[in-house]
């Protein structure tokens, strides 16, 4: 089976396919708000069968994964969940995986499209160690839920993962601007259950008989964003380091031995600040639309007095990474901003995605002989920021104004 195949649950009545990184599964099944409320209350399950699953077997699997990754898993008890990162030599995030071991096999769950790459990289690092790697995405499907699903589902595999976010793991640190009690993710609960891919529909049918409804990924994304939980497919770009996303709290052990990228992790943590910081945005909902992920974030001096013309010329101070409509808070988003952006600044999101579509359409008209294609209109959304990663995050020893890996001149 192709790892890129669409979910059979898209054939359900009312199913509307998601877009972008979630295109293989349903955005919703006709009732996005009701589905989100049900998921929030523990009465729904989400089809995440587009997620990738890689397994590592062999007696050296956990000690080997420890030497490669940001996390200490050498003594991970069977059934205990954790999260690990694989970094490049500059400390930038290449892979982020949910990890659980069943006593014989380490299961790594990651984003769709990353499984083959993850398995290939792990295979290249085997050397003479007693480990075997397999991309199981074509055989295994993933279900998401806010509570533990009933046991003995059709085709269920003997492993379940519970998200540690936002609890501080061993050797971890918090870069957040709030304490653990006040963290919006303190009530976040997220479970991944693995089932045999051919039995996916049977498993969902069994859950529906037990009173759970099927929810789309829009519901899961809204709850994730509200809990400040970063995601590999959305918050991680080619420059992202763990500190910027507060992943130090769940995916990094600051006291473990050497691994690729550790020097950057240690230097930023002990000597400087990450160059960007993740923020939570409350968006103006008066437009009745949402900006697209990738939209620019602006910091004009006076949001109220700004005009569309003045905003169009503003320089971007960041980028929206995820956006959703929450059933209680309305339009919300996560964004990565430059560290020095004033935490009190009122922001504006500039969305050009719809304008690009208009330009393309106008271009077709012009090609057919019409003249004066219309100038695209950008959409702007006022945004109030809540700090996730605080601007002074890091130990700030010796370089109070330093940034990521900038040495003295």
Q: Considering only 5-14, 270-279, 387-396, which range has the smallest mean pLDDT?
A: 387-396
pTM above 0.85, yes or no: yes
Q: Residue 402 domain-assigned? A: no
Mean of per-residue pLDDT scores for the chain: 90
The CATH number of the domain where 235 resides is what? 3.30.1360.120
pLDDT for 313 equals 80
User: Each residue of 287-343: pLDDT tens digit?
Assistant: 889 999 999 999 998 888 888 788 888 889 999 999 999 999 999 999 999 999 999
Q: Which domain holds residue 345?
A: 273-387
271 by Cβ neighbours in 10 Å (0-12 / 13-18 / 19+) ranks as middle
Q: Crossing angle, helix 217-226 and helix 32-40, to 10 degrees?
A: 50
pLDDT for 257 equals 85
What is the mean predicted confidence (pLDDT) over 66-91? 97
Of 264, 293, 310, the last residue of a domain is: 264
User: Each residue of 19-75: pLDDT tens digit?
Assistant: 999 999 999 999 999 999 999 999 999 999 999 999 999 999 999 999 999 999 999
User: Each residue of 244-287: pLDDT tens digit?
Assistant: 999 999 999 999 989 999 999 999 999 889 999 999 999 998 88
Q: Residue 163 domain-assigned? A: yes
HEC readout, 227-278:
CCCCCHHHHCCCCCCHHHHCHHHCCCCCCCCCCCCHHHHHHHHHHCCCCEEE
Nearest to 99 by CA among 278, 251, 303, 267: 251
User: Each residue of 153-203: pLDDT tens digit?
Assistant: 999 998 999 999 999 999 999 999 998 889 999 999 999 999 999 999 999
pLDDT over 70 percentage in the chain: 90
pLDDT for residue 364 is more than 60: no
Q: Residue 406 domain-assigned? A: no
Q: Which residue carries 């008209």 as its tokens?
A: 365
Counting the structural domains of the chain, the total is 2
The CATH number of the domain where 358 resides is what? 2.40.30.110
- CA dihedral of 324, 329, 330, 333, whole degrees rounded to 10: -30
Q: Considering only 2-11, 214-223, 290-299, 307-316, which range has the smallest mean pLDDT?
A: 2-11
Let me know whether 30 and 131 are in one domain: yes
Q: Residue 401 domain-assigned? A: no
Of 264, 299, 318, the last residue of a domain is: 264
């Amino acid at each position: 089976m192709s790892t890129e195949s669409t979910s059979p649950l898209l054939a359900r009545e009312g199913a509307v396919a998601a877009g972008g990184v979630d295109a293989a599964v349903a955005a919703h099944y006709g009732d996005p708000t009701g589905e989100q409320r049900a998921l929030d209350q523990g009465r729904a399950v989400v089809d995440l069968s587009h997620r990738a699953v890689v397994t590592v077997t062999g007696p050296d699997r956990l000690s080997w994964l420890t030497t490669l990754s940001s996390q200490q898993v050498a003594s991970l008890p069977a059934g205990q969940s954790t999260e690990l990162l694989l970094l490049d030599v500059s400390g930038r995030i290449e892979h982020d995986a949910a990890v659980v071991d069943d006593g014989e096999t380490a299961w790594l769950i990651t984003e769709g499209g990353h499984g083959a790459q993850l398995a290939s990289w792990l295979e290249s690092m085997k050397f003479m160690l007693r480990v075997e790697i397999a991309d199981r995405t074509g055989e295994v499907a993933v279900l998401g839920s806010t509570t533990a699903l009933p046991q003995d589902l059709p085709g269920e595999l003997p492993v379940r993962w519970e998200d540690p976010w936002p609890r501080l793991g061993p050797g971890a640190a918090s870069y957040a601007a709030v304490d653990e009690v006040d963290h919006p993710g303190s009530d976040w609960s997220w479970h991944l259950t693995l089932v045999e891919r051919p039995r996916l529909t049977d498993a969902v049918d069994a859950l529906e008989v037990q009173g759970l409804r099927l929810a789309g990924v829009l519901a899961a994304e809204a709850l994730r964003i509200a809990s400040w939980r970063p995601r590999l497919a959305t918050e991680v770009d080619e420059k992202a380091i763990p500190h910027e996303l507060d992943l130090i709290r769940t995916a990094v052990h600051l006291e473990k031995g050497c691994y690729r990228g550790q020097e950057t992790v240690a230097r930023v943590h002990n000597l400087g600040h990450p160059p960007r910081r993740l923020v939570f945005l409350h968006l103006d909902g008066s437009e009745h639309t949402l900006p697209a992920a990738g939209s620019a974030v602006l910091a004009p001096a006076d949001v109220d007095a700004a005009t569309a013309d003045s905003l169009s010329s503003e320089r971007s101070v960041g980028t929206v990474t995820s956006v959703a409509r929450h059933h209680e808070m309305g339009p919300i988003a996560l964004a990565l901003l430059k560290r020095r952006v004033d935490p009190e600044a009122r922001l504006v999101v500039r969305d050009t995605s719809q304008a690009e579509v208009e330009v393309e359409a106008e271009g077709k008209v012009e090609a057919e002989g019409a003249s004066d294609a219309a100038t695209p209109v950008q959409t702007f959304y006022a945004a109030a920021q809540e700090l996730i990663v605080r601007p002074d995050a890091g130990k700030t020893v010796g370089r109070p104004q330093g940034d990521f890996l900038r040495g003295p001149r």
